[in-house]
Each structure stands twice: as C-alpha cells, then as structure tokens.
Chain A
Amino acid sequence: MTDKLNPREELVTLIPSMRAFARSLTRDHSAADDLVQDTIVKAWTNFDKFKEGTNLRAWLFIILRNTFYSNMRKGKREVQDVDGVFSGKLMQKPSQDSAMEFNDFKKAFSTLPDDQREALILVGASGFSYEEAARICDCAVGTMKSRVNRGRTKLAQIMEMSAEEIGAADASTLAVLSASTLS
C-alpha cells in the first residue's frame, strides 16, 4: 500500500460511480449530474462527519440517495426517463442483435420500481454486499435480498416474455398461413 488518498481526493475518483448510481435512480442524464453535484457539495462541507477508514463510496451513495428521495418528496424534477437513458431511445438503429437486446434490457430495467432498481444496481453492478447495500438503503438485509430477487424475477419474466412473443408471433403467422391454404 502506498500513500492513502485523503477523502477529498478519493471523492474525485468516485464521481463516475456516483454518476452511474444517480442515473439508475433518476433515469435522466442531466438530473443525474445535478444530483451528483449536490452530493459532492454536501459531502465536501460535511467531511468532518465521515469516519476515516470506513467505506467512502458507501457514505457518498447514502448522501446521494437521501438527496434524491428528499428532492422527490419536494416534487423537484420528477422525470420519467425523458432522455431515454434506459429505454435507449437515443440509440439509432442497433447494429447487432446484442445491441437490440441490451436496449430491451434497459427498457425493462426502467420499468422496475425505484427500490428494485437501486437494489439491483448496488448489489448486481456496483459490487456492494447485501449488508452494505442494506446499510446504504437503510433497510434490513432480508429486505434488500427480496428486492434484488423480485427485481431479477421481474426482469427474467420480461425477457422470457419478449422471447415468447417473438415465438408466438411466428406461430400465429404460421397458423394464419396454414388456415388460408385450407380454405
């Protein structure tokens, strides 16, 4: 281990992951960056409350999350995926099937309730343990686990459904075709 970064220096390195978390909450690019900016200012002026040696990223995520929910209660900037962060409206024609699937995934993800989205991003993507994620969201570990499970199940259902829809569409086309040849 070399020199440890002081929290203010470390904060700078954590801005990208704060933006990613903020985007999963707000589903809007500019609202996410506003939220990160508010979080940085709050953290900067409250560093005396940060316990050194504890997880700075978790501390920042707590501030970010609290700011998001308190803004929401104040009715500030409630946006429904206006710039299509997750529904992929910004993407032009996807070049491959995988890009298409990924856009479908983002669309499905954006339909999940707030608590499931944040649980999946914290545990599934940012690498927090269930315990840490529960601390960030101020809930029981069991609650966090069930949010993650419900979110995964819902996504799996949507993904299976869209696969089936394609199958079903083909089947009905076939049915129509074979029916017309019969008559």
Chain B
Amino acid sequence: MVRKDLSAADPKREAINRQIEENLRKVYNETVSEALPDRFADLLAQLKTGEPKGNSENDR
C-alpha cells in the first residue's frame, strides 16, 4: 500500500487544505446569509414585551 504523505509541505495537501478552509467558510456563510425565519422576529418581540412562557425562573 502506498503511504499518503499528509504533511503540510506536500503541495497537493496544501491545495486540499486550502479547499477545506474555503468550503468550511462556505458552509458557514451559506446559513449566515440566509434571511431569518419569522419565528425569530416573533420571539424577540415576545421577549421585549415581557417574559414569555410564564415566569423566567433561572435554571441555575
């Protein structure tokens, strides 16, 4: 079996690393740039006008 050189010095590996970084940012930004669902505006409005769902007992 051929051993894969996974060291960063390998130019092929470097290219793959760069691609990984790019893709990770893309995965993240895909969600970040989405329009927020209405449920969050509703939730915030509810939170701003007083405590929702009964009294907000601290859980700790």
Contacts and interface: CB of A to CB of B under 8 A. Distances in A.
Same complex for A and B? Answer yes
Interface of A: 12, 15-17, 19-20, 23-24, 33, 36-37, 40-42, 44-46, 86, 102, 105-106, 109, 120-121, 124-126, 152-153, 155-157, 159-160
A17 to B, nearest CB: 6
Interface secondary structure of A, over-half rule: helix
Interface in B2-23: 4, 6, 13, 16-17, 19-21, 23
Q: How large is the interface on B (under 10, 10 to 19, 20 to 34, 35 or more residues)?
A: 20 to 34
Contact of A45 (B13, B37, B56): B56
A140 B24 CA distance: 23
10 contacts: A16-B32, A16-B36, A20-B27, A102-B23, A105-B23, A105-B27, A106-B23, A121-B24, A125-B24, A125-B29
Contacts of A109: 23-24, 27
Given A20-B32, A45-B58, A126-B28, A155 B44 contact: no
Interface secondary structure of B, over-half rule: helix
Contact of B21 (A86, A102, A124, A153): A124
